[in-house]
Amino acid sequence: MLIVMRDGCSPQDVDRVIDRLRQMSADGQVAELSGRTVIGVDPPGAIAGPDALDGLAGVERVVVLADPHPLARREGREGRTVVVVGDVRVGGGRPVLIAGPCAVEGEQALCSLARTLKAAGADLLRGGALKPRSSPYSFQGIGLDGYRMLGRAREVSGLPVVSEVLDEASLEAAREHVDVLQVGARNMHNYALLKKVARAGRPVLLKRGMTATLHEWMLAAEYVLEAGNPAVILCERGIRTFSGHSRFTLDLSVVPAIREASHLPVIVDPSHATGFRSRVPAMARAALASGADGIMLEVHADPRQALSDGRQALLPEQFAALAAELRALSAALDSARETVP
């Protein structure tokens, strides 16, 4: 980032800009360039955008030179990031299947479902102990004890666990039992939470906010990477559009776009995107074809009795059939890529 000063600006104008940069925890290097005073900003991404210094006397314009997401971007890196969770490699070529209920509802039901899902080909178990619902009147989750139940389900099934955290207390409760910490769509912009989650020493599954651009999603990932945690999995889960036929609009066009822009693995959640179980298999297939590194699916043994999101939950036997189909599809996509020059 470079600040170009007006012709004839005063030394006081330059000092004021340096002071403002220091207020933003940045520094300024003053130089003369073709008779003009310019100030280089260090670190380069320290000021938000070209209007950050609006109103300061003597400033002509701010030129954005630096990439705003130096750690998340793909450019300049060899290969893609593979996030390792136990024996599972997310982004390692073989698509990862994450399955489980929307919410943890009880230990026995969860353990029994986890065993079934493992046998059906799931790689990771999902389930929310705390549910950040849009309405305060909706089921808010079983509570912190849900993390212990997930730990138990991990023990009996051998599946590593993905679960959402909301705050310090949930992070603490999840520490022992959860392998991948999920930041939900509603919290993608919660930067204080991103920093805390980043420091927990576990991989982070970062859902795309329902109104977030690709750039904002990458900046959220940048928060985790910048805090020293390289293990970030991105998850597209549908965005808000004018369309009313489904819960959200699954933006599969973002999959190749973010794979171009970032080295991080990206998975797709067709359950929350569509909101209807009948539409989940088609969008799961499409997600694999779009280049996703994995699929996250909600599954419930008795969706009509589910405490949240039952309408979009697959039955265990539907998951088993879809999992087998997705494995076959993935092999077909690999061989198509190899056979077509």
Binding site for Mn ion (CB under 5 A): 102, 309
Using rule CB under 6 A, residue 279 touches ligand PEP? no
Q: Which stretch binds ligand PEP (CB under 6 A): 23-31, 55-63, 107-115, 181-189?
A: 181-189
Strands lying side by side in the sheet with 36-42:
27-33, 36-42, 2-5, 59-63
Q: Is 32 helix (H, G, I), strand (E, B) or coil?
A: strand
Separation between Cα atoms, residue 186 and residue 209, nearest integer Å: 6
- Using CB under 6 A as the binding criterion, the count of chain residues that bind ligand PEP stands at 9
Q: Is residue 294 a contact residue for ligand PEP (CB under 6 A)?
A: no
With beta carbons less than 8 A apart as the criterion, state whether 38 and 63 touch.
no
**Closest separation between CB of residue 102 and ligand PEP, Å?**
6
Instruction: Report the residue number whose CB is nearest to ligand PEP.
Output: 184
| Residue 294 contacts residue 97 (beta carbons within 8 Å) | yes
Q: How far is the CB of 72 from Mn ion (least distance, A)?
A: 26
The residue type of 292 is A
Residue 184 binds which of ligand PEP, Mn ion, none (CB < 5-8 A, kind-dependent) = ligand PEP
Site map (CB under 6 A) of ligand PEP, residues 147-166, x = contact: -----------------x--
CB 225 within 8 A of CB 72: yes
Q: Which of 47, 102, 255, 326: binder of ligand PEP (CB under 6 A)?
A: 102
247 forms part of the interface with ligand PEP (CB under 6 A): no
Q: Going by C-beta distance under 8 Å and a sequence separation of 6 or more, which residues neighbour residue 6?
A: 13, 58, 59, 60
Q: Which is nearer to ligand PEP, 72 or 235 (CB)?
A: 235
Answer with the entry of ligand PEP, Mn ion, none that 255 interacts with (C-beta below 5 to 8 A by kind).
none
Distance CA 39, CA 189 (A): 31
Of the candidates 249, 169, 175, 259, which has an alpha carbon nearest to the alpha carbon of residue 217? 259
What is the phi/psi pair of residue 334, to 5°? -60, -45
* Binding-site partner at residue 237 among ligand PEP, Mn ion, none, CB < 5 to 8 Å by type: ligand PEP
Which window, 4-12, 105-113, 180-188, 285-293, contacts ligand PEP (CB under 6 A)?
180-188
Q: Residue 81 has which token pair?
A: 């990031």
Q: What is the DSSP letter of 188?
A: T
By the rule CB under 6 A, 128 interacts with ligand PEP? yes
The site for ligand PEP (CB under 6 A) is made up of 102, 128, 164, 184-186, 207, 237, 272
